[in-house]
Amino acid sequence: MTNSADVITITMRKHAWWFWVLAGLWLQLEVLLVQTALASVRESEYRAAVISGIAAAVLASVGVFGWLRRGDSRKPDRPNESI
């Protein structure tokens, strides 16, 4: 049985400190862009809404892609070499 603290511990150990700093910045920028897109609709500034919406979507894609591919760079290209 693992508890949530264990999960956090394991996850934290998996990545370097700069990964988490970048992840935090990414999250803040994502929130800002989504808020701007939604607010721009309320302000009837549709061009600003579309552009910030696209920027938010691109940033989200990069984040998700990066998360799915996390750790790839640490895997050896030719595993047999390490044997």
Partner 1 sequence: MKELRKPIGRRSLLKAGGFVAANGALGAIWALVTGTGAGASTSGNLRKRPRWIKVVRQPTLGETNADFKRFSGFDMFALYRPLKTQREGAGSFEAEQASKAKRLIAWTNEKKPGFSLPDQQLSEGAWTVMRSARPGVGLLSWTRPPEDEPKEQISQRYTASPEEMANTVKAAARLYGARLVGIAPMNEAYVNLQVPHRDRPHKEQPPKDVQQKDPHSAVHPHEGEDRKSGDSLAHHHSDKDQKGEQGKEQQKTNQPPQDKDIVFADVDVPEVTDAKFVIPRKMKWVVAIAIPMDIELLARTPTPLGDAASALGYSHSAFVVSSLAVFIRGLGYEAIPCVNDTAQSIPFALDAGLGELSRLNKLVTPEFGPAVRLCKVFTDMPMAYDKSIDFGLVEFCKGCKKCAEACPSRALSFDDEPSFKTKGPWNNPGHKTWYEDSYKCFQYWQKSGSACGVCLASCPYTKGDQAWIHEGVKATISMAPPTDGVFRIMDNALGYGKQHAPEQWWTKDSPSGGRG
Interaction site with partner 1 (CB under 8 A): 2, 6, 9-10, 12-13, 15-17, 20-21, 23-25, 27-28, 32, 35-36, 39-40, 42-48, 51-52
53 vs 18: CA distance, rounded Å: 27
78 vs 38: CA distance, rounded Å: 47
17 vs 77: CA distance, rounded Å: 24
Smallest gap from Cβ 42 to partner 1, in A, equals 5
| Identity of the residue, 45 or 60, whose beta carbon is nearer to partner 1 in the bound complex | 45
Smallest gap from Cβ 34 to partner 1, in A, equals 11
